[in-house]
Chains A and B, each alone.
Chain A
Amino acid sequence: MSEAFHIVVCGSVAPDPLQTLEPVTTAAGPGLKNEMLLPHVLDPWAGHALYEAANLAKQAPGTRVWLVSVGPKAKLQQVMMTVAQKVPFELVAVDGSASGFADAHATAAALADAIGAIPGLDRSRLILSGGWESATRCSSVTLQLVGERLGIVDQFQGVDRLTIEAGGALRLTERIDGGRHQVSVVEGPPVVVGWATGYLPEPPNNPQVGMANMRAIMPALQKARPVPAAGGGAAFLRVEQPKQVRETRIVKDVPTEEIAREIVAWVRGA
């Protein structure tokens, strides 16, 4: 490895997956009931992207990793207490909405502005990454929009593996239909990489990494620039939880033979 990378991971907070979410109407549009009281986590796919970035940094000495987050400052601070213990990174915080109903184009603009203002960022060595989809808006568009704003036209989504080839080319494996992967080779950075789950396990907590990270994270949070919520021109006609509750037939104390025959008949369309 001859050259280091500058890896920027875009990712924010999302409500803990185990929480019940109830939509409400706010002055700014749809939102979640008691949103600021809900426990939050780092968006799962963004988490994968962060761990992959740290792994890549180990392979390329001198590589720097930034996590750029647009979210409510208080929630970012809570989540960073945990995330900071996982891998080394520098935080760039933007105090804004992490709502699933926030406009992706406005979020992309805020992210691109924040990335463009990172001191010392070498755009020629930039790997702009994040989750290929968030657990909030679930749109799969924000990274592409940020990439366009930064002028990056080599983009990959649903990436499960990134390896560095001799000569500095990058080999990327992207998910496509039917459980298959497309393998592409790009000459080198700058690239946009939207991660799927990859193959790395979640790193264990490391208090020493946490202490080192938090020395810079707290000042970064204090400096977080506020950005106003932007609607982006969408008019929501309705926002609701699915109402469908099924009448479940419980089949209990029935011989295995009978259950198996019923399942087979059902599978066959009888």
Chain B
Amino acid sequence: MEQVLVLLHTDETGGLPKAGLEAVAAGARMGAELGGAGFAVGIIGAGVQADANQLAGCGASRFLVADAPELAQSRYATDAAAAEAVARQAGATIILAPMTPRFARALPGLAHRLGGRVDTHITGLAAAGGTPVVTRWFYRQRIEGALQRTARPWIILLDPGAFPAWTGAAGTATAEAVPLAFGPALTRTTVAGIESPAAGQQTIRPDADLLFVAGAGWTKKQADGQPHPADAEAFILDFLRRSRASLGGSKSLVDLSGEGHAVLGFMTHMNQIGQTGATPRHPKGLATCCHGEEPHVVGWRFITERRAVNLDANCGWARGKADVLYVADAFAVMKRVNELLTDGN
């Protein structure tokens, strides 16, 4: 019978990230579907009793905590060592964890240390024949596959946003402390801090309802024969402020910015979606001035409702990928959209 462990970590605030609660819900379901053996929760961080208490009602049979000051920082060496200690104490055969940057970095190494296997970016999870079946994408969201493994332990990293989050009442959890020892070889790395975009310049909002995708068309010559990057920048930033949307950019637009052209100064590779960018999850997506496969196919693979504004009614990438294609001048449309959002009409 499988032993399911849901492995979590705290974030820089000391709390559990939403993706962790999604893993808890998935673990509870797997624990029930894989022979009803239940599941354990492991938490890595500094001062994690409150986090265990938050999950007291989730149905876990055990709470294993790796609690140490060194784990307040997201660092491969200590994270991998702590995860190894928790996994060994749990005797886990199936380890579910959120694919946060911290665990995406550390848990593949855990698979090697345990002699197991790891699969990442999991977007679907089910049970068949007493073993998990995971779904993930290959070739940058172009091919989808479902697979099982016989090797154990099997570490499964769940893509954030792909599963519902666990919600429930907090309580008092009986936590089992996992013995830890961090020698100097594991603390050669020190976290110096977090760099955030300047206030008002934050354009990436993972929890936003809307993804606004800007394409290179914003930098091209307009009807008067001149490009208007300043207007484009103003319209886009104004829209982001009013709608609280997250900003994505096509590769061509992002590359223009990176090459020092006088275009959309706020656009960086962090905003890029597509083959070499992100594939974010949002309920809605609005693509503007985009002409290409990457924004329309790869970049919004996980966007539920999709609309596009561009001047080409025959845009082969928007057709069949968007729900609505507005054939119009994005400058004029977004200018008016901003006015309407201001008016509250």
Spell out A's residues near B (CB within 8 Å): 14-15, 17-18, 21, 23, 30, 44-45, 100-101, 104-105, 108, 135-141, 144-145, 147-149, 153-158, 160, 171, 173-187, 192, 194, 196-199, 201, 232-242, 245-254, 256-257, 259-264, 266-267, 269
Contacts and interface: CB of A to CB of B under 8 A. Distances in A.
Interface in B282-341: 284, 286, 293-294, 301, 305-307, 309, 313, 318-329, 332-333, 336-337, 339-341
A153 B111 contact: no
B269 interface: yes
Contact of A183 (B105, B191, B203, B318): B191
Contact of A180 (B112, B196, B209): B196
A166 to B, nearest CB: 15
B174 to A, nearest CB: 31
Interface of B: 17, 74-77, 80, 100-102, 104-106, 108-109, 111-113, 117-121, 133, 137-140, 142-151, 185-186, 188-197, 202-206, 209-210, 243, 245, 255, 258-259, 269-272, 275-276, 284, 286, 293-294, 301, 305-307, 309, 313, 318-329, 332-333, 336-337, 339-341, 345
Given A178-B204, A183-B191, A144 B108 contact: yes
Given A139-B119, A256-B328, A155 B76 contact: yes
Given A155-B76, A197-B272, A233-B150, A263 B286 contact: yes
Given A234-B147, A235-B147, A239-B143, A140 B108 contact: yes
Chain A's interface: helix, strand, loop or mixed, by majority? mixed
B202 A179 contact: yes
B337 A153 contact: no
Given A235-B148, A237-B148, A251 B325 contact: yes
Given A141-B118, A145-B109, A181-B195, A199 B269 contact: yes
Nearest to B255: A201
B324 A157 contact: no
9 contacts: A140-B108, A155-B109, A160-B270, A175-B270, A181-B195, A201-B255, A235-B150, A239-B145, A241-B143
Given A156-B76, A185-B192, A248-B323, A179 B204 contact: yes
Contacts of A149: 112
Contact of A252 (B17, B111, B327): B327
Contacts of B210: 267
Tell me which of B76, B197, B259, B272 has the highest count of chain A C-beta atoms within 10 A of its own C-beta.
Answer: B76
A90 to B, nearest CB: 25
Given A155-B77, A183-B192, 7 more contacts: A101-B145, A135-B139, A148-B113, A185-B192, A201-B255, A236-B147, A267-B286
| Residue of B77, B139, B147, B195 contacting most chain A CB atoms (<10 Å) | B139
Contacts of A175: 101, 270
B8 to A, nearest CB: 15
